[in-house]
Every structure is written in C-alpha cells, then in structure tokens.
C-alpha cells in the first residue's frame, strides 16, 4: 500500500538485518541505488527513512548498485531497528 503523499518507487527487499553491524542485507529487485539516495524501509512494524551513506558488495565499498544486485547498507536508527530484526521490509525511494 502506498499511503504516502509522495510517490514511492520500490527498490528491493530487506532480506536480513545485522544488529551488531547496524547493516541490512538488501536484494535490489526493482531498481538500483546510489550513495546519497533517500530510502524508506517499511515492514509490518517498521518505518525508517534515511539517506544511503554506505553500501558494500562482498566487503567492498561501492557508490552505485544496479538492479539485481545484493548489497549491504548501513542502517541508522535510534531504536536499533528491532522490528526489522524480526521481519523483513520493502525498500523504497
């Protein structure tokens, strides 16, 4: 459901969240991402908007990720994204 006043475009899906690293493993199923993009992570109990500040593939920092790639994203949230730990969410921009 797109209840936002702003049109959202699906980017991919959070497959896993690593609390100790504050990072999310994301499959880019519908679009690519770049450093500086603003994304929204939404799940059953999650609503987090942030800028993409760090992305990695196989432990290497990247600035641009294309559709179809699996990436690691730094995730910043004051509550340590506990809901994302329990359920995966969609990534939008």
Residue 1 included in any domain? no
Residue 45 included in any domain? yes
pLDDT in tens, 16-51: 888 788 888 999 999 999 999 999 888 777 778 889
Report the percent of the chain where pLDDT is more than 70: 75
CATH number of the domain to which 44 belongs: 2.40.30.10
**pLDDT interval class at 66 (50, 70, 90):** very high
Q: Number of folded domains in the chain?
A: 1
CA–CA separation, 35 vs 73, rounded Å?
Answer: 10
The pTM of the full predicted model, rounded to 2 decimals, is 0.79
Residue 4 included in any domain? no
Enclosing H/E stretch for 84: helix 82-86
């Amino acid at each position: 459901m797109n209840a936002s006043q702003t049109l959202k475009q699906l980017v991919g899906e959070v497959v896993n969240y690593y609390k100790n690293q504050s990072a999310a493993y994301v499959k880019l199923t519908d679009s690519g991402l770049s450093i500086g993009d603003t994304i929204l992570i939404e799940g059953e109990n999650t609503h987090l908007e942030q800028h993409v500040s760090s992305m990695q593939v196989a432990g290497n920092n990247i600035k641009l990720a294309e559709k179809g790639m699996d990436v690691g994203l730094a995730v910043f949230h004051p509550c340590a994204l506990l809901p994302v730990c329990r359920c995966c969410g969609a990534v939008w921009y």
